[in-house]
Structure 1
Amino acid sequence: MHTVIVYESMYGNTREIAEAIAEGVHQADPRASVDCLPVARADADVARTADLLVVGGPTHMRGMSSGLSRRMAAMAEAKKEGHEDAAHEAYETAEGPGLRNWFHQLPKTEHGTHAAAFDTRGASPGSGGAAAGIAQRLSRHHYDVVAEPEGFIVENGDGPLREGELDRARAWGAALV
């Protein structure tokens, strides 16, 4: 089984969740081949090779990020003292392609290709989530979404992840296999 995990991450939280999902896939199937890639490195060819495509990103303004929301997040992070590494990652992500653009390049697939969607989001119910929009786009590209979209909680807007979320992401990844 070949699993491809594509993620967009501004502060490293979504990257950490993606890596934990990859660990969960390996725990469930030690022979599985897993590629865990930032959206900027995930071309259409790599997605085409997947038996399972898992896509995730941060929640911005109650949904998927946009070019504007990524730039705003990067500017806000740059203003925080002691957040130089996070600001660097945020600026790299803001300047690169986000998931919305990536979906424009993603070819439609044959039904029977499995997919799943996740996001990172704030703890309050009003913070929304990006995973449902990601799942919708996967369905429009004829992927069979095999799990309910999942949200993983980030404390304080930019992190850290809520305690236990990495374990929950590993378990979710294992359940996808």
Structure 2
Amino acid sequence: MKTLVVYDSVFGNTAKIAAKIAEGLETEAVHVDNVNDAMLEEADLIVIGSPTRAFKPTPKIIALVDNLTPARFGLAKLAAFDTRVNATSSKNLFMRFVDKMGYAAPWLQNKLTEKGFWVCEPPAGFFVEASEGPVQVGELDRAAAWAKSLPKD
């Protein structure tokens, strides 16, 4: 099975998570700027990752998803992940508000499902210490474990 891990990253945290997921899937993580239609068309599993920015993915990931159509890529299984601040453990009231507003991975799942894609696994969120990081201790291991839960065929 051909797998593609596509991501965008602002501070490098999502890139680290994407690399760990790709390692678990025995493939490479590819920045959204370097992805082309041929790569997407060849993939049986497409894993899309983004940092959460203003309650949703980055504009580049949104553009990627907007350009995916089931007619061209409908046989591919899809999965989504994001990086986020752990708002429930934050003492900051604004961050607790953020927890109620949403994150990038559920946004991606909803958008892909609305477009008619099969999202094969619930979206995953991986925690960073603050908006610029670093990745919280244990999250790289959790990303590797999540990768192992994704379909292999």
TM-score scaled to structure 2, two decimals?
Answer: 0.83
Q: Which residue of 2 aligns with 1:116?
A: 79
Where do residues 1-177 of structure 1 align in structure 2 (5 Å cutoff)?
Answer: 1-26=1-26, 34-66=27-59, 98-108=60-70, 109=72, 111-125=74-88, 126=96, 127=98, 128-176=102-150, 177=152
Inter-partner Cα distance in structure 2 for 1:156 and 1:130: 16
Q: The residue matched to 2:143 in structure 1 has which SS? A: helix
Query: Is 52-61 or 127-136 further displaced after alignment?
Result: 127-136
The amino acid that maps onto 2:143 is A
Query: Is 6-15 or 38-47 further displaced after alignment?
Result: 38-47
Inter-partner Cα distance in structure 2 for 1:115 and 1:100: 15
Inter-partner Cα distance in structure 2 for 1:8 and 1:110: 20
Shift in Å at residue 112 of structure 1?
4.2
Segments of 5+ residues of structure 2 without an aligned counterpart are 89-95
Shift in Å at residue 39 of structure 1?
0.7
Shift in Å at residue 137 of structure 1?
2.5
Segments of 5+ residues of structure 1 without an aligned counterpart are 27-33, 67-97
Any idea what the Cα deviations from partners look like across 1:88-136, whole Å, max 9, x if unmatched?
Answer: xxxxxxxxxx111122322324654211000000110433310011112
Inter-partner Cα distance in structure 2 for 1:111 and 1:10: 29
**Retained in 2: the 8 A contact 1:7–1:39?**
yes
The amino acid that maps onto 2:63 is N
Q: Which residue of 1 aligns with 2:93?
A: none
Inter-partner Cα distance in structure 1 for 2:117 and 2:148: 19
The amino acid that maps onto 1:154 is V
Aligned pair count?
Answer: 139
Structure number with greater CO (CA < 8 Å, separation at least 6) is 1
Residues 1:18 and 1:48: Cα distance change in structure 2 (over 3 Å)? same
Q: The residue matched to 1:63 in structure 2 has which SS? A: coil
TM-score scaled to structure 1, two decimals?
Answer: 0.72
The amino acid that maps onto 1:40 is D
Give the RMSD, CA atoms, in angstroms: 1.6
Inter-partner Cα distance in structure 2 for 1:146 and 1:50: 14
Inter-partner Cα distance in structure 1 for 2:35 and 2:115: 16
Q: The residue matched to 1:60 in structure 2 has which SS? A: coil
Any idea what the Cα deviations from partners look like across 1:40-82, whole Å, max 9, x if unmatched?
Answer: 111222111111000010001222234xxxxxxxxxxxxxxxx
